Chains A and B, each alone.
Chain A
Amino acid sequence: MAKIIVVTSGKGGVGKTTSSAAIGTGLALSGHKTVIVDFDIGLRNLDLIMGCERRVVYDFVNVINGEANLKQTLIKDKRVENLFILPASQTRDKDALTKEGVEKVLNELAKDFEFIICDSPAGIEAGAMMALYFADEAVVVTNPEVSSVRDSDRILGMLSSKSRRAERNEDAIKEHLLLTRYNPERVAKGEMLSVEDVQEILAIPLIGVIPESQAVLNASNSGQPVTLDQESDAGQAYLDTVSRLLGNNVDFRFLTVEKKGLLKRIFGG
């Protein structure tokens, strides 16, 4: 039985697509057949982050409308075994995704894949609602910053009231907090909300903390999911996150500032 995981946040620009790409790639690296589905109709970007933008022929909406089948549309990753991408369309029609259509496609994917990662668009409009509707689990991507935390809380409200599981009175969607752009130095200075602060406000279990890192922009510049950069702090933090998603108990890393020498301690810097 495939597990459907939505990567969502409410607020834009917090790292949903980066996280979808990194987590999907990590799951495939661990040997699980995974597809990442771009739900951002009209503003597709997952293809660019995954580095397969020139291989898009058909898209999600084509499949729903019966203009292409899944086999023609899915893009197989050239670097990682077991990894596929379903690109969003560039059409501006935001009503292109119907509940019935999405359900049909997800059911078909579920026959073939272990994990279906739904990369949600920002906001709380139809596209974001569609991305979370069928989910079994949710990764709520949050920056340690007031507007992101507030929007995450709104999305948590949606997850518990507007999903299929909520409508059918089934077990609630399993929620996970993924804190991204975390800067331990600023936290230590009292300039940034800490992991504990955000956790206390949102009150959901923590699945990962991704440090603010040069590696993320470098990865997106070159169309490589950051989990492929296993030397980098962000890549390692995402791999830890994936391991926790798979049920392993992994210690959190990159939460504290590296120890400074005595001179630096005295004179700051």
Chain B
Amino acid sequence: MSLLDYFRSTKKKTASTAKERLQIIVAHERNRRSGPDYLPQLERDILEVIRKYVDIPADQISVSLEQRSDELSVLELNVSFPDEKR
């Protein structure tokens, strides 16, 4: 970095933004890959059911299947409801 750069504003570098975005999306996609093929469809179906009652955007739901042991898998469902007070 040159001396002139030093006095310019220290805005966040784009490379670190890129890294953070990649870490999130890659982790998400790996998680999805490791699950069974029906998970995305299951996620869409659950979303449809909830939308009959509450209007939530598609990215507010996440479904994952975690293998706890040989006999036990846990289906984890995370839904964030929109802020009600308005």
Chain A contact residues, CB within 8 Å of chain B:
145-146, 149-150, 153-154, 157, 161, 187-194, 197, 200-201, 264-269
B68 contact set on A, CB distance < 8 A = none
Q: How far is the CB of A192 from chain B (nearest CB, A)?
A: 6
Additional A-B contact list (8), CB under 8 Å, known A150-B29, A201-B19, A267-B3 = A154-B29, A188-B1, A189-B1, A190-B15, A200-B19, A267-B2, A268-B4, A269-B2
Main DSSP-derived SS at the A contact region: helix
Contact between A146 and B22, CB atoms less than 8 A apart: yes
Contacting residues of chain B (1-44) with chain A, CB-CB under 8 angstroms: 1-5, 13-16, 18-19, 21-23, 25-26, 29-30, 33
Main DSSP-derived SS at the B contact region: helix
Contact between A266 and B3, CB atoms less than 8 A apart: yes
Q: What would be 23 A-B contacts, judged by CB atoms less than 8 Å apart? A: A145-B18, A146-B18, A146-B21, A149-B22, A150-B25, A150-B29, A153-B30, A157-B29, A157-B33, A161-B33, A187-B15, A189-B1, A190-B14, A190-B15, A190-B16, A191-B13, A191-B14, A194-B15, A197-B18, A201-B23, A267-B2, A267-B4, A269-B2
Q: How far is the CB of A156 from chain B (nearest CB, A)?
A: 9
Contact between B2 and A265, CB atoms less than 8 A apart: yes
